[in-house]
Structure 1
Amino acid sequence: MTQRSLLVRALWFVFVGWWVTPIVVNTAWLLNITVILLPIGIKLINLVPTVLTLAEPRSISEPESARGQRSLAVRAIYFVLVGWWLSLLWANVASFLAITIVGLPIAIWMLNRLPYVTSLYRFHG
């Protein structure tokens, strides 16, 4: 996949990404506290970098993207012990920083790493 132009991604962020991302993050977190809707919540968190700036992830089926991913068992244990609560804190701090001019670069960096903070999923954008 090819990335959209910087102009398109910047316009998306200014008009949509900055306010939709906290909604997606908090919706995902609410889904994550249920057993039945957990897969949907994780999928939403993995899409946060795309929602924020239209960053295109590489498919997990691509060999270079699959390399470096931890096993599903390790990721599941991490999520249960740490990821579910740390991701909520991480995402909301990042969302707050995103509405400030000074904190914007840090917020984008943080939100692009949210899939990893949540479940050790490496987002290759």
Structure 2
Amino acid sequence: MTQRSFLVRAIWFVFVGWWLTPIVVNIAWALNVTVILAPIGIKLINLVPTVLTLQEPRSRRGPGESSVRLEAGDGTTQHSLPVRALYFVFVGWWLSFLWANLAALLAMTIIGLPVAIWLANRLPYVTSLYRFHG
């Protein structure tokens, strides 16, 4: 799928993205603190860049993610699911809450928008050490 035009993404941000992003971030965080609903929370976190600016989601690693460290599409290594789960339990859930809310706060300002987009794009990694490829 191709990226939407800058004009469409800018209009989305001005009318929807800046106020919807903090809502999605906090719903995702609330879901993440539960065991049963955490997968839905993670999916929402992965959608934060799309909610903010309609940025197309990057492709994700397939089901062959069972080895200790895997190659991501850019040649970097991917942490295993058990390592990512431990990280999430001890660090990811609270750090992603702070990280995402900082991004949402910065997104409300024109000056902070580039940093907010940078933070939002790295939110899945901050949450669970998951590296996107593609």
More helix by share: 1
Is 1:99–2:94 an aligned residue pair?
A: no
User: Given the superposition, is the C-alpha separation of residues 36 and 57 from structure 1 closer, same or farther in structure 2, using an over 3 Å criterion?
Assistant: same
Structure 2 unaligned spans of 5+? 63-71
Residue in structure 1 matched with residue 7 of structure 2 by the alignment: 7
Shift of 1:116: 1.0
Report which stretch shifted further, 7-16 or 60-69: 60-69
Shift of 1:68: 4.0
Match of 1:81 among 85, 90, 102: 90
Residue in structure 2 matched with residue 43 of structure 1 by the alignment: 43
Q: How many residues align?
A: 125
Rounded Cα–Cα distance in structure 1 between residues aligned with 2:77 and 2:61: 13
Moved over 6 A (4+): none
RMSD: 2.1
Residue in structure 1 matched with residue 19 of structure 2 by the alignment: 19
Structure 1 unaligned spans of 5+? none
Contact 2:61 2:133 in 1 (8 A): no
Q: Which amino acid aligns with 1:119?
A: S
Contact 1:57 1:123 in 2 (8 A): no
Q: Which amino acid aligns with 2:43?
A: K
Report which stretch shifted further, 41-50 or 62-71: 62-71
User: Given the superposition, is the C-alpha separation of residues 61 and 90 from structure 1 closer, same or farther in structure 2, using an over 3 Å criterion?
Assistant: closer
Calculate the TM-score normalised by the size of structure 2.
0.83
Shift of 1:19: 0.7
Rounded Cα–Cα distance in structure 1 between residues aligned with 2:74 and 2:45: 17
Q: Deviations over 1:41-60 (max 9, x none)?
A: 11110111111111112322
Residue in structure 2 matched with residue 52 of structure 1 by the alignment: 52
Rounded Cα–Cα distance in structure 2 between residues aligned with 1:59 and 1:50: 13
Match of 1:115 among 117, 124, 132: 124
Q: Which amino acid aligns with 2:73?
A: E
Bigger Rg, structure 1 or 2: 2
